[in-house]
Structure 1
Amino acid sequence: MNVKWVNRRKSSHTRRVCMLIAALAITTLSATFDRVDAMDVWRTEDAVSATPADMFADLDAAHPCQFGPPSVPLRLAEAVNRALCGSPKTREAWANVKVQSAAVGAANSAYLPTVTANLQDVRDNTATDVRGYPSLSSANRSTVYSGSVAANWVLYDFGGRKAAQTNARALLAAALANQNATLQTMFSNVATDYYAAQAAAGKLRSAGETERIARDSFIAASARVTHGVAAISDRLQAETSYAQATFNRVKAEGDLSSTRGVLAADMNLRPDQPLTIPEIDDGVMPDEEFIASIGKMIDEAQSTHPAIAAARAKLDAAVANEQQTRAEGLPTLSLVAKVSQNNQPASLGLGEPQFAANGRDWYVGVQVQIPLFDGFSRTYKVRGAHAQVELQRDTLDEARQQVALDVWRSYQSLQTNTKNARTTAALKNIAQRSFDVAKHRYAAGVGSILELLSAQKALSEAQQQGVQALADWHAARIQLAAKMGQLSLDDLRSEQTR
């Protein structure tokens, strides 16, 4: 008797150890499948770029989106890469692509069966006390275990899974297009701020040159007044012009500091970060690269612009969502299976002792689920999904109109800035010659101080306009490419070589 009891204890202990090992193995396997970086059986991560900057990430860097101190001088390519890698907007768009790519994987997984395991090992203490009939009372203490494995495989659902898959893929396409649109917008904004800083640096240089010229004019006027060949008013007017030039130079210094701070903030740096920006090359003349048929440019933008692609993908997703909502109200056909085992004690009846027993159960079959009535909620869900389709159609039309208007405005701005850049180049040349003549005439005593100061002012204004016009032309080129949705690495390379 004692030997049998020991054997039973050993058998029970061995069985419980085996169940524990099986539970740990299943838990480990489940955790492996659920790990974020475990595996990508559907290869959805292929749609996710390696960095938030996507196609604009680092032209030559071995480690994308990893930067040291800003280069000296800071080039547009580096400024754009820093901004695109660190901007919260671009990182948000990048994260949304990750979310939607995972949703595609989840939609694909609906075509696979699901398997669930359930293991239980408990200490059971059951007592029944029948008043007045002690013979019917019973008490039982036992260790009960049970284990089961169930499988479910949806075979047919009238297109519900297919619609969900289409919806997820369309939303992923919309997220990718939105990421591209965000990058294009950020690129153009950073380029605009970069050229604004370049223009401020050029204006400061011009203001410094104007201040030097004004000082020379003041010295010349003072000398003539000292020698009695000019009235005191000449020196006062020259001194006034010199003071005004100094004021303009100080203001230009403040404007440069401000624009540099904005550019630093674009790159997620402190506004007081020292930046050295190359000067705008006066030798670069505007070209006719983007001067083409405006109608053709609008048509091209409306067919390829990422904002329109995103709106079109969202419309496809809304259509698929409506189909999925309708399919959810239709029957589903599934293959089901289950196998289970337990050692639940058995009793022949009330008052009878319980006996050790082993129970087994399994089944394999086909299950049909038919929704019959859901309180009319499906009707309203379908109506809501259809309304979302109409909303996305209107959003797509609005996106087309906005892109056409943006391209039109950018095209006109580029044409204007191209003409202005060429005009100011000629104006600067004329103003320089006019100042040289006025300066020579005043030194020879045949010209007035008003003539000299007027020519000096005209030269200063021409220099300022020339710097601003050239910066505006550079920015307008980038803006037009962005509004057409065609900014690429070539734009970074072309600007880097200027």
Structure 2
Amino acid sequence: MTEATRACNNAKNSIAKSIPDVSRLVRGIRFLVFLFLIYSIPVLAATSSNSNSNKIWTLPELTSLALTQNPATRLAWAQVQAAVANVGIVESTYWPQINFTAASSYQTGGNNNNSNNNSSGCSNNDPLCGTLTLDFIVWDFGVRNAQVKNADYLRIASQLSQNETIQTVLLQVEQAYYQLLGAVALVKADQISLKEAQINLNAANALHKQGLATVGDVYQAESTLSQAELALQQAQGNASIAHGQLAVSIGLPVQTPLKIRELSTQIDTNTMMKRIEGLLQQAKTQRPDLLAAEAQVQAAEAQVQVTKRQQWPTIALSANTQNSTLGNTASQQNRQSNVMLTLSVPIFTGFQQTNAIKQAIAQEQEAEATHDQLRNQVDIEVWQAYYSLETAQKTINTSKYYLKSSIQAANQTLGQYKAGVGNILSVLTTQTTEASARVQLIQSVLDWYLDLAQLMQAIGALEVPKA
């Protein structure tokens, strides 16, 4: 046995062992989705009654709303229902097929022998004929079992794909929510910068009137004020765009007003962190797309069994009963019944069966390769998200110290300038540094929230980070 074969068999065994866990995960996530939907009922009511109110929406409320409003979740749900129905279609082959046929015919000329039957099994000269037939596959050497197994694994894959869609929608809402938080925070930061620029201009005008500052100081302060106004206008435009993006990510009209709380820079950055090894393992047991790929491998393996077992004989039972009138006299009745047991053996199919087996095996290998490729992709996604979050944690404290120092420096130089000591360039430089530090802190906090949301999605968790 080659190394590749052993690796393939090990992969099959590990996947087979994980399928019960997949089913439990499906049930668990479906229960969470049910809770989301129950929770969203009052949310939907609030949306219709308080769309123009001062309601402050929380992130859990918005994500619950998205589960019922976003078209992607409805599409995924419809696909799951189709997969569930397909299982029922395949399982129907275990049951007998019963059909009733009624026919009426009359033949003139030629041979009126009642033994000449039409396609319904009735005589061509029967005014009225009814036939009840029953067909049942007694034994097919496991073809139906393999077909049901294939359909069931495809159902599991569809349900897991629905869970992946839910997590994608949650991530999109979280990202849009945090982007809006950051955009609103930048508006407030630019408002502070504008206010400080106005204070600088007032100070320059006052000192110029006293002969303690040149007109150049006034011009520089006016220029800085205009720059602050421009930055504020751009920030307000970005906030409006972020509002629309949040509404659309939920599945609401783009103009829907949604008020959210302000971004807080006081966050507990120590709420995580498991070791990276634990998160990598958690992703392997929770990522719905990876588990769906495992189910696809099992479905492909079942399809291989279907094609192989279709080479074997099939034993079927057929029964029918027929009741017809003879000639033109309704009182003349004829009833016939028969039962037949048939053995069907495929001898030569033009190599169709051989090629079908080859195709099924190739598709199984394709599913295994897709699973392995996705597993590697999951590892790198968790790895990148983990260290991005770790970096964001470190930058928050540094950004806080940076802002504190820059505020102190800006206040110091402004006080000196008002006292007639120092110059306007020092004031403008330190306050520009202060504005930059304020933006840096906002960006650091925003990055932390976004990286945390990305990590939760990477490991397949449904937890919604609070902001």
Q: TM-score range by the shorter chain?
A: 0.7 to 0.9
DSSP-derived class of the 2:56 partner: coil
Cα separation, 2, equivalents of 1:419 and 1:50 = 33
Give the structure 2 partner of residue 54 of structure 1: 33
5 Å-filtered alignment, 1:157-168, equals 157-168=140-151
More helix by share: 2
Summarize deviations over 1:179-225 as a string: whole Å, max 9, x none.
Answer: 11121122112111110011000000110111011011101111101
Cα separation, 2, equivalents of 1:242 and 1:277 = 29
Give the structure 2 partner of residue 74 of structure 1: 57
Q: Residue 271 of structure 2 is aligned with which of 289, 306, 310?
A: 289
Q: State the number of aligned residues.
A: 427
Cα separation, 1, equivalents of 2:144 and 2:44 = 38
The farther-off stretch of 57-66 and 236-245 is 57-66
Q: Is the 8 A contact 2:37 2:67 kept in 1?
A: no
Give the structure 1 partner of residue 323 of structure 2: 341
The farther-off stretch of 146-155 and 403-412 is 146-155
CA 1:235–1:59: 2 relative to 1, 3 Å = farther
Q: How does the TM-score come out when normalised to structure 2?
A: 0.85
Give the structure 2 partner of residue 484 of structure 1: 459
Q: CA RMSD for the aligned pairs?
A: 2.7
1:315 Cα deviation from its structure 2 partner: 0.5
1:345 Cα deviation from its structure 2 partner: 2.1
Cα separation, 2, equivalents of 1:219 and 1:355 = 114
Q: How does the TM-score come out when normalised to structure 1?
A: 0.80
DSSP-derived class of the 2:94 partner: coil
Q: Residue 299 of structure 1 is aligned with which of 281, 291, 301?
A: 281
Summarize deviations over 1:385-423 as a string: whole Å, max 9, x none.
Answer: 110000001000011000001001100110111111222
DSSP-derived class of the 1:164 partner: helix
Mind listing any 5+ residue stretches in structure 1 that lack a counterpart?
A: 1-46, 131-140, 347-353
Cα separation, 2, equivalents of 1:224 and 1:65 = 58
Summarize deviations over 1:26-81 as a string: whole Å, max 9, x none.
Answer: xxxxxxxxxxxxxxxxxxxxx89999993572463447877525572222123223
Identity of aligned residues (%): 27
Cα separation, 2, equivalents of 1:52 and 1:219 = 62
| Aligned amino acid, residue 319 of structure 1 | E
DSSP-derived class of the 1:57 partner: helix
Mind listing any 5+ residue stretches in structure 2 that lack a counterpart?
A: 1-25, 113-123
Give the structure 2 partner of residue 370 of structure 1: 345
CA 1:63–1:250: 2 relative to 1, 3 Å = closer
DSSP-derived class of the 2:134 partner: strand
Q: Is the 8 A contact 1:116 1:149 kept in 2?
A: yes
5 Å-filtered alignment, 1:173-252, equals 173-252=156-235
DSSP-derived class of the 1:371 partner: coil
DSSP-derived class of the 1:221 partner: helix
Summarize deviations over 1:252-283 as a string: whole Å, max 9, x none.
Answer: 01111111111121122332333322111233
Give the structure 1 partner of residue 247 of structure 2: 264
Summarize deviations over 1:308-330 as a string: whole Å, max 9, x none.
Answer: 10100000000101111122222
Q: Is the 8 A contact 2:106 2:126 kept in 1?
A: yes
Cα separation, 1, equivalents of 2:28 and 2:41 = 16
Cα separation, 2, equivalents of 1:55 and 1:425 = 41
Q: Is the 8 A contact 2:29 2:163 kept in 1?
A: no
Cα separation, 2, equivalents of 1:451 and 1:59 = 59
Q: Is the 8 A contact 1:58 1:78 kept in 2?
A: no
1:174 Cα deviation from its structure 2 partner: 0.6
